[in-house]
Amino acid sequence: MIVGKEKNVEPAEVNEKDIEGVSMKVVISSEDGAPNFVMRVFDIQPGGHTAYHTHAWEHEVYVLEGKGMVRQDKREYTLEKGSFVLVPPEEEHSFSNTGDGLFRFICVVPIVR
């Protein structure tokens, strides 16, 4: 069993174009022995956003704090604490902070082998 506190985890670099004010902590990964999926916590600063992109794997997201939005093409969905999002594989998406405070969410992805 692995037990930890998110506040003790160092943020990892997010190496991607077209992102602003985004940091990520990988809290549970294959390095801890996770066999199937990775749990990350994203912090987006006010005005910040992730890239509008697509990839072969899904996201399962749960909002911890703040106000935000997820966009897909012309559709925008408002997000707040307790919102959840399934982004299926190959679907374009971008998450944005639309509030005055930090926008925080958990994002779980499969381990890509």
Interacting residue ranges for a copy of itself, rule: CB under 8 A: 1-7, 27-28, 32-37, 39, 41, 58, 60, 62, 64, 70, 72, 75, 77, 79-80, 82-89, 91, 93, 106, 108, 110
Residue 15 or 110: the one with the smaller Cβ distance to a copy of itself is 110
- Phi, psi (5° rounding) for residue 19? -120, 155
- Per-residue tokens: 95: 């998450």
Give the integer Cα–Cα distance in Å for 98 and 30. Answer: 32
Residue type (1 letter), 76: E
d(CA 79, CA 97): 9
Q: How far is the CB of 89 from a copy of itself (least distance, A)?
A: 7
Nearest CB to a copy of itself, comparing residues 15 and 25: 25
